[in-house]
Every structure is written in structure tokens, then in C-alpha cells.
Amino acid sequence: ICSVKAKALVLVTEPVASPCGLCLQVISEFCPGSLPIHLSTPAGIGSSRKLRDFLPLPFGPDQLK
């Protein structure tokens, strides 16, 4: 269950950049792998991917069981 009601994450940078590993880990602890992440510049969205594409093997509560 995603404890955050986010429908998507938009990262706006110049030039386009992906979220860092630490950010991806924190996002994965609150949102599902299906969360869309849009990489964009101030001019608009350049590409879109799912969280699981950036972090295919996240460490979370399920690994602590």
C-alpha cells in the first residue's frame, strides 16, 4: 500500500537528470514500483519511466521479514 497518495513524480532539472539512488530508495519505501517518474526541463517533459525501471530491486520492509 502506498502511504503517499502521489499519482506521479515530476523531476525538473536543467539538463534532464534522473533521481539519485538515495532519493529512489526513499520514494520506493512509500510508493509502488508502478509510480510514473517524469524527467523534464522547465520547457516540458522529456521522458517518462516507472520507479521500478530506476530501482528494480529496492530494499524495503518486505526484505526484513
Mean pLDDT of 17-42: 93
pTM, to two decimals? 0.82
Distance CA(54)–CA(22), nearest Å, equals 12
- Residue 28, number of CB atoms within 10 A of its CB: 19
CB 32 within 8 A of CB 4: no
- Determine the pLDDT at residue 62: 75
Reported as a pLDDT band with limits 50, 70 and 90, residue 61 is confident
Res 64 pLDDT > 70 = yes
The edge-to-edge listing of strands for the beta sheet with 44-50 is: 9-12, 36-41, 44-50
